[in-house]
Amino acid sequence: MTAVSLKKILTDANKNNYAVAGLVVLAWDDALAFTKAADETGVPIILQAGPSCRAHTPVPILGKMFRHLAAQTKTHVCCHIDHGYTFRECAEGIDSGFTSVMFDGSKLSLKENIKTTSKIVKRAHDAKVSVEGEIGFVGYANGKSSEGTLPNEAVIFAKESNVDAMAVSVGNTHLQTNKIAKIDLEKVKEIQNSISTPLVLHGGSGIPNLIRKKLARETNIAKFNIGTELRMTFGNALRKQVKNNPLIYDRLQLLKPTMPEITKITKRIIKNFGPQ
């Protein structure tokens, strides 16, 4: 199936009370496992190339890879640049076949965030590409603390930047290995009562499964970024493979057996808060 924009995939999600997983890709292997999970469940997904992925593989190569996988998948797939920190990074994604880019201006002032995001939105929309922006800062486990989104700033940002989706900081944290996040549901509802922009939660791995499902069914949160949870799945599967096969040195033989486990866990995740 042809790759679709983030606007398309999230508008459908909000309309039908479900959310879509933004699956953090590091290489071909996990991207293939993610699309296999989408195929086997019929649940749409978002393939995301974050900073570490882009540092490992050139963006033009990733664009072709994501597009190829989307074309082979029976359900909708969005090809997304995650955490672009500059206009140039986002423009490269737009020019390389991605159907969506995320500009992370969360460390900027509201005025500067809107200014740069708006510039990227114009460039992207001219190419029929969607844009996700961020207002408020989502912190990191064992790193810099979050700065929660202010509802009044979220409303201003959404209206003036014209983003297609907006990431917010409401208790979610990047790189959490335990599901301990406490989401401020009242803040989420306050934001969505003033704007119709689909909302995004980064750090989705740290949010309990039941809460992810509840948020997908009852709020405008249409996208959960899932990375740490699946990296842990891969790491545990690879360690087991290496331990059980000490004489195997071929990296493909070591990596291939991890894919069924990644596919299995991905299916469980996307079905939990996906279409009913």
Cβ atoms within 10 A of the Cβ of 41, count?
A: 18
Q: How many domains does the chain have?
A: 1
Q: Which residue has the tokens 């844009």?
A: 131
In-domain check, residue 100: yes
What pLDDT band is residue 247 in, cutting at 50, 70 and 90? Answer: very high
Q: Which residue has the tokens 């076949």?
A: 97
Residue 127 in this model has a pLDDT that exceeds 90: yes
In-domain check, residue 237: yes
Distance of CA 149 to the CA centre of its chain: 18
Q: What is the largest distance, in Å, between two alpha-carbon atoms of the chain?
A: 60
- Considering the chain, what percentage of its residues have pLDDT values greater than 90? 97
In-domain check, residue 1: no
Q: Is 250 tagged catalytic?
A: no
Beta strands per DSSP E along 143-261: 165-168, 199-201, 221-226
Mean pLDDT, rounded, of the chain:
97
For residue 271, CA distances in Å to 13, 68, 174, 252, 275 come to 13, 23, 22, 29, 7
Distance CA 128, CA 33 (A): 28
Helix (H) or strand (E) holding 8: helix 6-15
Give the active site residue among 82, 104, 126, 250.
82
Domain with 12 in it: what CATH number?
A: 3.20.20.70
Give the pLDDT mean for 43-62.
98
Say what the pTM is.
Answer: 0.96
Helix (H) or strand (E) holding 254: helix 251-255
Residue 276 in this model has a pLDDT that exceeds 90: no
Distance CA 180, CA 57 (A): 32
What pLDDT band is residue 193 in, cutting at 50, 70 and 90? Answer: very high
Give the pLDDT mean for 194-208.
97
For 17, the domain range is 6-273
Residue 1 in this model has a pLDDT that exceeds 90: no
Structure letter (DSSP) for residue 127: T
In-domain check, residue 61: yes
Distance CA 223, CA 194 (A): 19
User: How far is the first Cα of the chain from the last one, in angstroms, to the nearest whole number?
Assistant: 21
User: What residue type is 114 in one-letter code?
Assistant: I
Distance CA 81, CA 76 (A): 17
In-domain check, residue 158: yes
pLDDT at 95: 98
